[in-house]
Structure formats: structure tokens, C-alpha cells
């Protein structure tokens, strides 16, 4: 009987430990710092592998920043981006400001157009902001100007 009580007690303690560890893991996923790391990893992976739809899901205008503007994703923009191959992306500097729930990351991006082997480098400074309601990080920083589609030129014809 003593042995059965000891085994039951061990099972109860083991079950409590498993519940405690799993609840800590659940709390960990709601931590803004961990969420930031996930968003940063997704941003870099999406850019590196040309997953532009995934990348643009992280881009959202910040309601607290009236100057925040994101170029909307269009068919033409996707076609233009598909002509860009990112060879390498690395974090140069990153940091979170906890009270404001904002962050900044500086990336070094090496890329080339698909029809060229000349590697170009650009530094991109990303501003991140945390949405408490969605429990997600977003950036309101557009892609580098080197990734923007070329502007259509209009030719003015003289009246003559």
C-alpha cells in the first residue's frame, strides 16, 4: 500500500511539473521580446527567399505615426520584386525599447537583379512597433528604394 501511494504521488508531481513547464512555454510565446525575435526572423527569411507576401504581412502603417506609409502590394510590384534575388541579409544592429514597445533593426542586404551577377549592398533601417491587440510586431518601414518599381515617366509633348 505504501508503494502504491508513493507511485501515485510521483505521478501527481510529474503531472504538475509537466503542466507548469507547458504553461511557462505558453507564457513565453506572449512575451513581446520573443514575439519580436520571431517577427525579425520571419522578415529576414521572407526577404532572403523572396516570399514577398509573407514579408508584406509584417508591414503595417503605425496608427501612432502620421508619417507612416507603406507601398501597397500589387501585381506589378510582386512582378518587379520577383526580379530581385537577395543573396544575403544580416542584422547589423537591433534593439527593443520596452516601455514604448518599439524597436529598431539595421540590416545589411546583398542583392542582385536576376539578369545580373553584380552584387549590390544596401543598409536598411527598420522601425518596428508592437500591436497589443494582435500581440504582433509590425514594421512601418517600406522596402529599400532600390527595391521599388521604376517610376513610369510621362512625356509631355509640345503643342507644335
pLDDT digits (tens, 9 = 90+) for 138-156: 999 999 999 988 777 666 6
Query: Quick one: pLDDT at residue 31?
Result: 83
Confidence band for 6, pLDDT divided at 50, 70 and 90: low
Confidence band for 159, pLDDT divided at 50, 70 and 90: confident
pLDDT digits (tens, 9 = 90+) for 111-130: 999 989 899 999 999 999 99
Q: Which residues neighbour 115 within 8 Å (Cβ) at sequence distance 6 or greater?
A: 83
Quote the Cα angle for 133-33-37, to 5°. 105
User: CA 92 from chain center: how many Å?
Assistant: 15
Confidence band for 8, pLDDT divided at 50, 70 and 90: low
Query: Quick one: pLDDT at residue 92?
Result: 96
DSSP class of 148 = S
Report for 14-23, 86-95, 146-155: range of highest mean pLDDT: 86-95
pLDDT digits (tens, 9 = 90+) for 40-84: 999 999 999 999 999 999 999 998 888 887 878 889 999 999 999
pLDDT digits (tens, 9 = 90+) for 58-68: 999 998 888 88
Distances (CA, A) of 118 to 33, 85, 114, 129: 37, 11, 10, 34
Amino acid at each position: 500500500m505504501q508503494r502504491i501511494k508513493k507511485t501515485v504521488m510521483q505521478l501527481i508531481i510529474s503531472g504538475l511539473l509537466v503542466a507548469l513547464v507547458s504553461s511557462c512555454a505558453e507564457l513565453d510565446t506572449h512575451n513581446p521580446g520573443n514575439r519580436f525575435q520571431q517577427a525579425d526572423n520571419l522578415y529576414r527569411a521572407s526577404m532572403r527567399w523572396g516570399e514577398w507576401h509573407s514579408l508584406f504581412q509584417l508591414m503595417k502603417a503605425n496608427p501612432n505615426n502620421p508619417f507612416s506609409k507603406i507601398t501597397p502590394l500589387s501585381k506589378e510590384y510582386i512582378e518587379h520584386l520577383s526580379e530581385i534575388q537577395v543573396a544575403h541579409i544580416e542584422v547589423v544592429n537591433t534593439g527593443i525599447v520596452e516601455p514604448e514597445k518599439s524597436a529598431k533593426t539595421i540590416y545589411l542586404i546583398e542583392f542582385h537583379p536576376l539578369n545580373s551577377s553584380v552584387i549590390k549592398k544596401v543598409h536598411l533601417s527598420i522601425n518596428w512597433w508592437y500591436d497589443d491587440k494582435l500581440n504582433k510586431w509590425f514594421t512601418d518601414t517600406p522596402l529599400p528604394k532600390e527595391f521599388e518599381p521604376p517610376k513610369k515617366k510621362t512625356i509631355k509633348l509640345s503643342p507644335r
